[in-house]
Amino acid sequence: MPFVRDTVTVFQREIAPTFRDPLGLLFTMMQPLLFLFLFGPLLSGNTDLGDAPWQWFVPGILIMMCLSGPMMAGYMLLVELIGGSMERMLVTPLNRTAMLIGRTLKEFVVLLAQSALIIGLSIPLGFQPNAAGVLAGLALLVVFGVGLGALSFVLAIASAPGGELFYGITQLVMFPLLLLSGVLLPVDAGPGWLQTAAAFNPVTYVVNAERALFAGSFTDISLLYGLLAATAVATLGLTLGTRAMRRGI
């Protein structure tokens, strides 16, 4: 099957530098780790979070990692576009869609590995994972992360050859999405205009769904909203990314 073969080829090409530089992978996790160890303990006295602040905070950390990881995945593609190596790949017989799928699969594997590390480190701090909820939450996180990664590739293609558009939009969009999603503090405690802005943020629904899953609340209505939001982001990203790869750069 040529498509599967091409996808595996691209995936191996993308994942190889990660294995050669595991410290670089840890470096990308510095911000989530700092929040986990330095900000998380401060939530123990927050009465709005109930008696289990870590059950509330750890899913938010995973979403933060998803925003700072897959959302910036297009950076390496942008480097290849500027350096010319991507153009050499485009003249090969590799399937254009396989180029996108292989790259997103790499983000999928990296995100799972990082999430497993964060969950493992948070257990001694007081986090009590629900096994089924964690597995379902990681599946939802991967769907959302793949969509963000694909959108990041689309932005990188649109930003070539300068790259200023990529850096500007990612920095402009990432922090509002993060702050308005209630990852660090409950949005319910904010003013009305802030809660209204958070209602238009798809990340908010994914965060709420992750927290419900990690708590083992499989009948919570937030699961439906989170699944719809993550699926919409993944569908949009893969559709636009496939179209951009097929059209050429």
The residue among 230, 185, 187 whose CA lies nearest residue 205 is 230
Q: Considering the chain, what percentage of its residues have pLDDT values greater than 90? A: 13
For position 126, what pLDDT does the model report?
84
Residue 162: CB atoms within 10 A of its CB come to 10
For position 7, what pLDDT does the model report?
85
pLDDT tens digits for range 14-47: 888 877 777 767 777 787 888 888 888 777 766 5
The residue among 71, 83, 98, 84 whose CA lies nearest residue 13 is 98
pLDDT (average), residues 163-186 = 83
pLDDT (average), residues 157-181 = 82
**Peptide bond just before 161 cis, omega within 30 deg:** yes
Q: Read off φ and ψ for residue 233, nearest 5 degrees.
A: -65, -45
132 residue type, one letter? A
Query: Measured between alpha carbons, how far is 142 from 35 in angstroms, rounded to an integer?
Result: 21
pLDDT tens digits for range 60-108: 888 888 887 777 777 777 877 777 777 777 777 788 778 888 888 887 7
For position 236, what pLDDT does the model report?
93
Output the pTM of the full model: 0.84
Mean pLDDT score of the chain:
83
Q: Which two tokens stand for residue 128?
A: 């009590």
pLDDT at 9 over 70: yes
